[in-house]
Every structure is written in C-alpha cells, then in structure tokens.
Amino acid sequence: MWNTLAGYLLFALLYAVLGKQIPYPAVATIAHGVAVTQAFASQRWLVYHSKGHWLAEYGRFHLAHLGLFLVALGCLTGLVEWAGWHPLWAQAAVTAGAAFASYFVHTYFTFRKTRR
C-alpha cells in the first residue's frame, strides 16, 4: 500500500506544481521515474525479503515497471481524453489497477525464487 500511496501522492504533488506548465502525461512520467527506485527498495527488503542479486532484480523491476507504466499511461490518457475524467481521478484509478497487476509481475518475474 505504501508504494501505491507514495506514487499517487507524488503524481498529485507534481500535477499541482507543474500541471499548468507541462501536460499530465509528462507529469506521470516524472513521477514514475522518481517513484520506481523507492518502490524497488521497499518491495525488495520489506515485501519479498529478497536475497537475490540486487542489480539483476533492479533491472527486472525497471523492465516490469516500464511495461506497467506504458499500459497505465495509455489508460490514463484514455480516461482523461476520451472519458473526460480529471487527471487526478484517472491517475487514482490507473494506480489501483497497476498496483494489483504489479503484485503478480513482481512475484513471478522480478523477485522470483530460483529453483534448485
């Protein structure tokens, strides 16, 4: 829950500060870039208690989040441009969906246990 809340609050803060100067997809991209490293650290140590090679996991984490981010950015744009939602409401919905999907991606890809 922390990573979801932190990521959304970061987007909301950046949108409040930069939303008039740059488009919301750019705000989402900046927020993603900042939030992903914090999310990796907390998930690696607090959620998965991983003892795997941190650099390999960091790479998989970024790869997984890049895929999730591209889908989320498409959904965010669709909700704002086609459904007429406010960017903050749309981001809240997208963040919830991405959090659900990320659990499975990180369990079975990023922090998967190697079989011996």
- Residue 115, pLDDT above cutoff 60: no
* Sequence ranges of the domains in the chain: 2-110
Position 47 scores a pLDDT of 81
Mean pLDDT over 14-40 rounds to 93
Q: Does residue 92 register a pLDDT over 60?
A: yes
Q: How far apart are the first and last CA of the chain?
A: 32
Q: Is the pTM of this model over 0.85?
A: no
Give just the sign of the alpha carbon dihedral 94, 47, 40, 8. Answer: positive
CA distance 12 to 72: 16
